Structure 1
Amino acid sequence: MQELLKALRSNGIVIYPTETLYALGCDATSEKACDRVAHVKGRSEERPLPLIIGGLDMLDLVTAEKSRSLLDLAGAFWPGPLSILVKALPGLPAWLSDEEGYTSVRWSGHPFASELSRRFRKPIVATSANLSGKPPAAMPEDIDPALLEMVDGAYFDPPWPRGHKPSTVVRMLGSSQLEIIREGEISIKKLCDKGFSVAVRNA
């Protein structure tokens, strides 16, 4: 933990476990650090970097949105693998948001990832820990050695990621209405079971 915190405070990039897969991350408020992650990943500007936080109280560090529907959705599935699109605060790095100003954030359900963000007191980038075109990593042995050489710290002790699907990504359309951007660990059925109506993008 201390090694990763030191790296994050120095604009470093790190590998850490989440509840779904291993993540490649950095200080989400640092343009320089986000540039490094995007360069390592070979990520295009059309694909914003997703974020994690360590508690609902940290949502204020990402967005000014505080609608009742957003808080209800977060309360139903956080901490956990549901990433919600929200309007990013002005001043956050451009790598975090799309052309409409939306960024993806979740309160991670992994104890280490959540605590890392809480101790850092900032949101952390959480893109999958793989080079562009390579499969995501669910176990320490799955991490590409080439990627390991590019980072400033890594945490591989258990609990390991569950290694199933990535987080589900949704956008709020209105009160109890959601658009599914990517169905992942949380199924459409689970969302509907909590009383949310769902539309699937491009369906």
Structure 2
Amino acid sequence: MQNLIKAMNEGDAVIYPTETLYALGCDATNAAACDKVIALKARPETKPLPLIVGGVDMLGLVTDERPAVLQELASSFWPGPLSILLKALPTLPDALSDKDGYTSVRWSGHPFAAELSRRLRKPLVATSANLSGQPPVAMPEDMDPDLLSQVGVTYFDPPWPKGGKPSTVIRPLSFNRLEIIREGAVTVKMLCDKGFSIIHATK
């Protein structure tokens, strides 16, 4: 873990496991490092980079926003694969937020990823560790060798990601209403079973 922290403190990109897939990431507060991740992945610059943190107490490093449903969402689905759109702090790099200033953040359910964020004391970029348009990766042997050769440090020890669908992305609306931006590992049924009202994003 210390190798990854050192690399991120030096502005490098790293690969590490999350609860769903391997992530390509960096110190999310470093704009140059965020740009490096975008370039390595060949990711469209208009597509914001998602974030993970190591606990609810770290949300203040990402946002000042606390919608009414946040506590209930966090207690029901965090740590885990539910990414919530919240207004990003204006001090964070532009690469993390959309045109309206929203960024996507979750408390990772993978113990290594969560601890990595806590030890760095910063949010982490957590985009899937694959070239844009290629399948995401859940096992070390499936990693693109070209991507591996350009990354500072990788962590491939178990526990490995579970694979399957990526995190679900939602936008809190008023009261208990949620807009589904992307349905993933947390299903609409799981959200409805917790009493949330679901609206699907228009294409």
Give the TM-score range, shorter chain.
over 0.9
Query: Which amino acid in 1 is paired with 2:43?
Result: R
Query: Which amino acid in 1 is paired with 2:138?
Result: A
Q: Deviations over 1:119-140 (max 9, x none)?
A: 0000000000001121110100
**Counterpart of 2:15 in 1: which secondary structure?**
strand
**CA distance in 2: counterparts of 1:199 and 1:53, whole angstroms:** 26
**CA distance in 2: counterparts of 1:162 and 1:92, whole angstroms:** 30
Match of 1:163 in 2: 163
Unaligned runs of 5+ in 2: none
**Counterpart of 1:174 in 2: which secondary structure?**
coil
**CA distance in 1: counterparts of 2:120 and 2:158, whole angstroms:** 20
Comparing 61-70 and 153-162, the one that deviates more = 61-70
Q: Is the contact between residue 67 and residue 172 of structure 2 (CA under 8 Å) also seen in structure 1? A: no
Question: Displaced runs of 4+ in structure 1, greater than 2 A?
Answer: none
Unaligned runs of 5+ in 1: none
**CA distance in 2: counterparts of 1:192 and 1:116, whole angstroms:** 32
Match of 1:182 in 2: 182
Aligned residues: 203
Q: Deviations over 1:125-168 (max 9, x none)?
A: 00000011211101000110000011000000100000110000
Match of 2:68 in 1: 68
Match of 2:14 in 1: 14
Q: Residue 67 of structure 1: CA displacement?
A: 2.9
Match of 2:87 in 1: 87
Query: Which amino acid in 1 is paired with 2:80?
Result: G
**CA distance in 2: counterparts of 1:142 and 1:110, whole angstroms:** 19
Query: Which amino acid in 1 is paired with 2:21?
Result: L
Match of 1:100 in 2: 100
Query: Which amino acid in 2 is paired with 1:116?
Result: L
**Counterpart of 1:45 in 2: which secondary structure?**
coil
Match of 1:56 in 2: 56
Match of 1:141 in 2: 141
**Counterpart of 1:44 in 2: which secondary structure?**
coil
**CA distance in 2: counterparts of 1:91 and 1:106, whole angstroms:** 19
**Counterpart of 1:195 in 2: which secondary structure?**
coil
Q: Residue 84 of structure 1: CA displacement?
A: 0.2
Match of 1:199 in 2: 199
If the length of structure 1 is used for normalisation, what is the TM-score? 0.98
Q: Deviations over 1:6-55 (max 9, x none)?
A: 00110010000000000000000000100100011111122100000000
Alignment root-mean-square deviation, CA: 0.9
Q: Residue 5 of structure 1: CA displacement?
A: 0.6
If the length of structure 2 is used for normalisation, what is the TM-score? 0.98
Comparing 63-72 and 178-187, the one that deviates more = 63-72
**Counterpart of 2:150 in 1: which secondary structure?**
coil
Query: Which amino acid in 1 is paired with 2:101?
Result: G
**CA distance in 2: counterparts of 1:44 and 1:77, whole angstroms:** 29
